[in-house]
Copies of this chain bind each other. A is one copy, B any other.
Amino acid sequence: MKPIDYKSVSLKEGFWKRVRALNATVSLKNIYRRFEETGRFDAIRCERREKPPHIFYDSDVAKWLEAAAYLQADYPDQDVRAIIDETVRTIVKNQLPCGYFNSFYQVYQPDKIFMERTEHELYCAGHLIEAAVALDKCGVNSDLLPAMCRYADYIFERFYVCRDTGFTTCGHPEIELALVRLYEHTGEKNYLTLAKYFLDERGKRAEEIYPNMDRAYDQSHMPVREQRDAVGHSVRALYLYSAMADVGRLTGDEELLTACRALYDDIVCTKLYITGGVGSGWYGERFTIPYDLPNAEAYAETCAGIAFVFFCERMAMSGNRAEYHAALERTLYNNVLAGESLDGKAFFYVNPLEADAKYAAYARTMPGMPIKPLLERVEVFDCSCCPPNLVRLFGQIGGVVYGEEDGVLYVDQYISSEVSACGMTLSLMTDLPYSGSVSAALTGNGRIAFRIPAWQTSIACWVNGAEVTPEQREDYLYFAVDGQTNISIRFGMSVRFVYANARIRADVGRKAVEYGPFVLCAESADNGVELSALEIPSLDNATIERTEYGVRVRVPAYREMPAQALYTYRSPVLKECELILIPYYCWANRGEQDMQIWFL
């Protein structure tokens, strides 16, 4: 089973090419501007300032470099190129002779290098390594790679050979998956060895923990192979699980993969929002307990959604690919896309599933309230991990489309694109997410398989114009390709009710509406306030209108009319109304207002 990575896939006109273009032309530059203004790029100059940089500024810059690398090929830009080259030069110049680079420690606390477990040091290193691999692989800049190999060698020397550091595993996983990427790109086995070492050592001893947090917060409560419940900080968890899946696959380590499957099942069966968001608890940005999925109070950090996409992508390489790709699709089209505004300029860190504008306004007036709903996206956060993370995911989005297994070319996600693999050349055109039409123009000889989306209501297939009933196995449709072959598939796509597990207190007795991969929502701009009092009796008379961003659905509904009194013995009066639904990811682009996903 092999991945077919972003380098081999070129996107064609369609929904995702537009998203990627927006990120290349708007988001990337806007994030750079805000990072420059907030001193993130200044930090890597490693000059001592009165106010030290934040401990993880290097990772912000690194993620920006990585994102820029993916986008340069298709969206070349002299200014961006100049920033990349200058940034790489600065990093290389300031790297210590031993290979070490960290703009905070080497300038402000050189005596504390590799001594403080909870300060994101190896996390920053991991993101720099990922950036170096991407820059080299995309042919944008090849100077960072050798520098970061030297850094990785130094980490190997200190953590694995000498073992003279103040901690064994980093408080924020990331280095592990970065080392795997570096190994896959360079072939240097020490990097895989070190990744596996970091995984194996985690949870084996009581290392330094974060203030006010337990050992589970950074998944150090037990050896990773024994872990079965997804717990702790959700981004940390999913970066760790991604590395476990990587090392498991590359070393054939079934114990690691067994743990990964159990962790995935725990998330998907008990801790996943309908939007694909994960990490419901704001306290510690954590996974909490099974079925604890509040809507207005959802945390569901954008970075956690991105990390879950990474994890699903890796898990799909070890079997059951349809299931993992269905989960990946849910998160990508909903939680992750919602992280960015439609104009590409602003971002959500927290992604609630319900919004109450009046309450948010009230909370703003309470100075000491620890968490306040944010109902509009902002350009930069103090902790600004999510914006560049989104751009780097969208930059490499081609990597989630295809896979190769036993010589079969798998179409896992429906994104218009071209690829050559398994002895075939494929031009994939799809109307998704607007409708379920897929057409594949193939040359060559081989076998191709198309994932059957969970949301389809019907399937019809044609090969070279003739309707066929293809082989169907484990949620894929299999076709033989023999010379020039045109395959058309029409997946029925319509609005459907979705019901939550009755154990989810927040949703029981309610239903959501999905259209294809989109979870839909209602906003006040279309539907007035008090959206939680809306009841959808049926979707039979829904009308679906295509828009630039997906769909707008109109459906006859009822509104429970508020009585005069607060409590009454009379059952509520229902009034007919029309409910307008839009894709969840489009919410909060028209000012602060109410939003609702779950209806009566």
Chain A interface (Cβ within 8 Å of chain B)? 211-214, 268-270, 272, 274, 283-284, 288-289, 292, 296, 356, 358-359, 362, 365-370, 496-505, 508-512, 530, 532-533, 535, 559-572, 600
**Shortest Cβ gap from A563 to chain B (Å):** 5
- Per the bound structure, the CA–CA distance linking A369 and B282 in Å amounts to 10
**Is the CB–CB distance between A561 and B502 below 8 Å?**
yes
From B370, B502, B561, B600, contact of A572 by CB (8 A) = B502
Cα A564 to Cα B265 with chains together (Å): 12
Number of copies: 2
Mostly helix, strand, loop or mixed at chain A's interface?
loop
The answer to whether A274 touches B567 (Cβ under 8 A) is yes
Q: How far is the CA of A150 from the CA of B418 in the complex (A)?
A: 92
Listed by A's residue number, 6 A-B pairs whose Cβ atoms lie within 8 Å are: A212-B368, A268-B566, A296-B505, A502-B530, A502-B563, A509-B509
Given contacts A501-B566, A566-B268, A571-B497, contact A508 B362 (CB under 8 A): no
How close is A247's CB to chain B, nearest CB, in angstroms? 28
Contact B368 A289 (CB under 8 A): no
| Given A214-B365, A509-B510, A501 and B292 contact (CB-CB distance below 8 Å) | no
B501 and A563 form a contact (CB under 8 A):
yes
Given A213-B368, A289-B359, 16 more A-B residue pairs with CB atoms under 8 Å apart are A212-B367, A268-B566, A270-B566, A272-B566, A289-B362, A356-B505, A370-B370, A496-B569, A498-B568, A499-B570, A502-B559, A502-B560, A502-B561, A504-B566, A509-B535, A512-B567
| A499→B366 contact, CB < 8 A | no
Determine the distance from Cα of A274 to Cα of B567 in the docked complex, in whole angstroms: 7
- Among residues of B, the one whose C-beta sits closest to the C-beta of A505 is B532
B288 and A509 contacting across the interface, CB-CB below 8 Å: no
Known contacts: A289-B362, A362-B289. The answer to whether A565 contacts B501 by CB under 8 A is yes
Asked if B562 and A499 make an inter-chain contact with CB atoms under 8 angstroms apart, the answer reads no
**Nearest B residue (CB) for A362:** B289
Q: How far is the CA of A71 from the CA of B559 in the complex (A)?
A: 52
The answer for the CA separation of A365 and B284 in the assembled complex, in Å, is 12
Give the residue of B497, B569, B572 whose beta carbon is less than 8 angstroms from that of A569: B497
Q: What residues of B have a CB within 8 angstroms of the CB of A510 in the complex?
A: 509
Q: Is the Cβ of A572 less than 8 Å from the Cβ of B214?
A: no
Which chain B residue has the least Cβ–Cβ distance from A598? Answer: B509
Q: Is the CB of A533 within 8 A of B561?
A: no
Distance in angstroms between the alpha carbons of A292 and B269 in the assembled complex: 31
Smallest distance from the beta carbon of A105 to chain B beta carbons, Å?
A: 26
Output the least CB separation between A266 and chain B (Å): 11
